Every structure is written in structure tokens, then in C-alpha cells.
A and B are shown apart, each in its own frame.
Chain A
Amino acid sequence: MMPPRPMPWRILVTILLITVVICWSWWQIDLAPSGLLTLDTWRALGDVAERFLTPSLKPEVLKLVGEATLTTFALATCGSLIAVVIALILTPFACESLSVRKSPVDRATRPAARVGWMLLHHGARLIANILRTTPYLVWALILMLVCGLGPAPAAISLGLHTGGVLTRLFAGVFDADNQTPALALHQTGAGRWGILLFAVLPQVRAQLVALSLYRWEINLREATVLGLLAAGGLGHELAMAFGQFKYQTMVTVLVAIIALVCLGEFLSGWLRRRWC
């Protein structure tokens, strides 16, 4: 039931280390919870809470928020689509089961082609790692500079980052699958692409769909954040309403965000059950 326990001193050292890191963090940012107890904070809180409780239901506000909701939804969907395309292109090279020495396919390859495949393999992994570790904020900053404000750079930056993440997840799924069908196909003389299409993909299809839906769900939240920084959509409306002290409009936007995120969770769960 439980994994074997590591040595006690290791646990002690870990706990000590974590404590040190926490204390250092506290000291580093000079966190002062007592600041939360001052009268000003509570006054500001009361001030905000007082205006917060009633969302604005004026037709023009609703229209604005509706438009923004559609934009955010489109942004997330578009970003996820780009990401899936990137991941599907990179994964056959980035996964180990189709390209690396261990695989049965590789043993049959001529030495020169083998070196080429190793290069492709490492190149694809490097690209995926760069895409993934660069926060989408940075992609957005660069792309905004190149092609101006608007939903397109936001969608692409979301797609680039998510593409890296999906490649990593897809490669994990590709490598964890059952190798027997691949071996069987290899015996009958199928090449890499035959094995990919007829042995690997049919096995992992459902998991790929599930992972893509899961990232789409996350992208709905991230799209809100991107909108806040630049791109339009719900985040943009939120920042505008906040800047102009229109608290009631802001509550409407918040409700829309919560509704959109919950809808995304529900939809992706439903699709996963129906499809996978």
C-alpha cells in the first residue's frame, strides 16, 4: 500500500530545508500580515464589498461582456488548436519509442539515417523545451511588438506555450504505450510512419484527446489572464472596469469569468466521457 519509507534523517533534512526556505521567503519579501489588520485595509475592503454585491445588468454592459466572453472563448480554442498542431508535428520526433536506439524500428535503420534521426529527436525536444519553459507572457510581449495588439498574437503565444507542454505530455503517452503491435508491424516490414499511423496512434488516440481537452480547459483561464495584459476579451474588460472604478461592471465580468471556467470544466469532462 505505501512505498517503503526513506531514511528518517532524509525526511528531517528535507523538513529543515523547507523551513529554511519558508523563513527566507518571509524575510525576503518582508511579508507583514499585520498590515492586513490596519483600519485602511478594512475600509477599502468594505468599500469594495459594498459596491461589489450587485452586478450591473444594463443591456450595454451585458452586450460588452458577452462579446468579451466570446473573444476569450475563441482565444482559448484557437490557442489550443495551434498547440495541438505543433504537438502532433513535434511528438513523433520528440518521443523515444519511434526515434531512439531502444526502439525496434531504429535497429533496422541504416547508420547514416540513424544519426539523422538522433539529431531530429534532440532538435524536437529542444524546441519543445524552449516553447514550454518560456512563459506565454513573454511570447505575448514579443509577438505584440511584432504584430500589434489584438487577439491574433495572444492566440499564437498561447498556442506556442501550450504546444510545448502538450508535446511533453504526448511524448509521455507515446512512450508508455504497448510496444507489441509496433513490433508486429515491424516484422511485416512497416516503416516508422506505418507504425506511427497503424500501431501507436490508434492506441493513444483517446489519451491525446483527453490531454488536449484538459489543456483547453486550462487555456480558458490563461486566455483571461492574457486579455488582462493586452489582448482584449474578459481580462481587458476587467482591467478597464477596474481602472474606471466601475465596480458593478466588474462584478458582471467576474461572474462571466467564473461561468466560462465552470462551463469549460463541464464541457471538457462531458466530451471526455463521450469520446474517450
Chain B
Amino acid sequence: MNPAWQIGERSTFRWILGAALLLVCGWSLYRCELWQVGSGTADLSLLSGFLSPVTEWTFVADTLIGLADTLAIAVMGTLMAVLFGIPMGILSSRAVMVAPRFAHHWRRASQGWIGLSWLARGIAILWRSVPEVVWAVILVRIIGLGPTAAVIAIGIAYAGMIAKVFAEQLESCDPSPAAALEAVGAGRLARLVWCQVPQVIPGMVDYIMYRCECAIRASAILGYVGGGGLGFQIEYSYGYGYYGEVTTQVVILIAFIASFELLVDYARRKFT
């Protein structure tokens, strides 16, 4: 076995690729002006404000209400993402609309369905390649400030991702049960419902819970651009320089995210 620093066989192509990567990395480091951090402009005294967290009960209660908003936004956003993402994933999956690798004799879907499939794929790419915060900025302009914009932003961005992952899982699941069902004359829908979906359910439940976790993080940031919830409160306290309040809010947020992660881990071990 080669030692760790010898990456694969040596070829001219790899040398060129490695040199290009080094160049790009070096240029990025240069461009980010990392040296400015140590260049005297740093003022550590400002940080002392963070060291005295606010622990008054009324403030903590306010923060908890903000946290509840953030959680609710994340849940509704994930729900919307699932409602839109699953049908889009089915439509854009090659395994459902065309045929798995070896089943050449399956009938292709009609032209209309194929067109719809490409449409779903295009929409999914468009939705997921714009970050949810950018969606939120646009939606806040259209719908106005508030949680509705945040929910729709999370829903749109995550629906695109769920569609992609669902389609990929459908494509990579075992095609033989569906082929068997096809041999006794079952149609596309029956194959989907009885053979393909049951195979991908555990993986999808896992992924959706992971997305919900991401949605909590995201909805805290969405609050920052006008989505309401804890992020909005953090922005307010930070903007006015109440750093002690920021500490309390951040600690509560982190504790919540960490315990949610533990809960998801527990549920994963229990159910899968």
C-alpha cells in the first residue's frame, strides 16, 4: 500500500490537475485577504460584551417564543418541500419514467409524460440552485415581511433538493421486483407504489429528517433577512449592540439544534 502522500499513479494529467488546483487554492487565499485579520484592526475588547449573558426570565421567555416561531417555520417549510419535492422527484426519475438499466422491453412513457419529466427536472434544478436566503429576499419583496415568506423560501429551495435525492434513490434501488411485477402485467403506477417506493422509504425518511434539521438552521438565518423568529431577534439585539442578549439567544439556539440532532439520531436508530 502506498503511504498517504502518494495519490494514485503519477501521470502528466494528474500533475497538471494538481498544479491547477494548487494555483486556484493559492489565489483564493490571496483574494480573501486573510492577513487583514491579524493586522491590528482587530478589537478584542468588543467581545467582552458577549461574556455577560442576559438571564432575566422575561427575556428568556421572549427568546423561547422566537425559537418556537423558528421551529414552526422550519416544520412548515419542510412540509411544503416534501409536498412539492416528492411528486417532482417521481416525475424526474428515469427509473419511473423510462426504464431501469436492464428492462429494455418496458414501454417508454408517452411524449407528454417525457416532456413533463424534463420540465420537473428543470424546475428542480432552478429551485435548488438558488439558496433559500436568496429566495427569501425575493419573496419578502413580493409577499411582505413575516414567516410566510420564510416558509415558502425553505419550501422552494428544499423541494428542489428532495426531488433530486428522491429521483436518485428511485434510480438506484433494486429494479428486479418492479421487473417481476411488470412481467405479470402491472402498469407504471403499480410498479411505483408497490415496488419502488417501499424500497426508498427508509432512506427518504432519513433524508427528510436531515433536511428538517437543516431547515431549523436556515430559518434562524432567514429571520435575519425579514422572516421573523429567532433570527430577527438576534439581528435586533446585535444591531443595537446588546451583546449579552445575543449570547443568550445564540446559546438557546445552539442547545436546541444540538438536542434536535440527538432526537433525530435516536429516532434513526429506533426506526431504521
The chain A residues found within 8 Å of chain B, CB to CB, are 1-3, 6, 10, 14, 21-22, 24-26, 28-33, 35-36, 41, 44-45, 48, 70-71, 73-75, 77-78, 81, 129, 133-135, 137-138, 141-142, 145-148, 150-156, 181, 197-199, 201-203, 205, 221-222, 224-225, 228-229, 235, 238-239, 242, 254, 257-258, 261-262, 271, 274-275
Contacts and interface: CB of A to CB of B under 8 A. Distances in A.
A29 B76 contact: yes
Nearest to A143: B37
Contacts of A25: 71-73, 75-76, 79
A47 B84 CA distance: 26
Contacts of A73: 28
A33 B147 CA distance: 11
Interface string B133-172: 1100110011100011001000000000000000000000
28 contacts: A3-B202, A14-B271, A25-B72, A25-B79, A29-B73, A29-B147, A29-B151, A44-B141, A74-B27, A77-B24, A77-B28, A78-B32, A135-B220, A135-B257, A142-B50, A146-B44, A151-B32, A152-B35, A152-B36, A154-B32, A156-B37, A202-B2, A228-B137, A239-B137, A242-B141, A254-B130, A258-B126, A261-B130
B42 A146 contact: yes
Contacts of A45: 142
Contact of B258 (A133, A142, A202): A133
Contact of B198 (A2, A137, A205): A2
Contacts of A274: 17
B58 interface: no
B130 A258 contact: yes
B51 interface: no
Contacts of A129: 258
B246 interface: yes
Contacts of B142: 41, 44-45, 48
Contact of A145 (B47, B79, B151): B47
Contacts of A78: 28-29, 31-32, 34
A10 B34 CA distance: 53
B43 interface: yes
- Interface residue tally on B, bucketed by range: 35 or more
Contacts of B141: 44, 48, 242
B28 A74 contact: yes
B31 A151 contact: yes
B183 interface: no
B69 to A, nearest CB: 6
Contacts of A70: 31
Given A29-B72, A142-B47, A254-B130, 5 more contacts: A29-B151, A137-B220, A154-B32, A201-B3, A202-B2
B124 to A, nearest CB: 12
A81 B257 contact: no
B177 A138 contact: no
Interface of B: 1-4, 7-8, 17, 24-25, 27-29, 31-37, 41-44, 46-47, 50, 68-69, 71-73, 75-76, 79, 125-126, 129-131, 133-134, 137-138, 141-143, 147-148, 151, 174, 177, 198-199, 202, 217, 220-221, 224-225, 228, 231, 234, 238, 246, 250, 253-254, 257-258, 261, 271-272
Given A22-B76, A78-B28, A198-B3, A35 B130 contact: no
A157 to B, nearest CB: 11
Nearest to A229: B224
B32 A32 contact: no
The residue among B2, B32, B71, B253 with the most chain A CB atoms within 10 A of its own CB is B32
A32 B76 CA distance: 12
B148 A32 contact: yes
A155 B25 CA distance: 13
B73 A137 contact: no
Contacts of A33: 148
Given A6-B271, A151-B33, A262 B129 contact: yes
A25 B69 CA distance: 8
A77 B134 contact: no
B13 to A, nearest CB: 8
A33 to B, nearest CB: 8
Contacts of A221: 131
B174 A262 contact: no
A266 B217 CA distance: 26
A167 B103 CA distance: 42
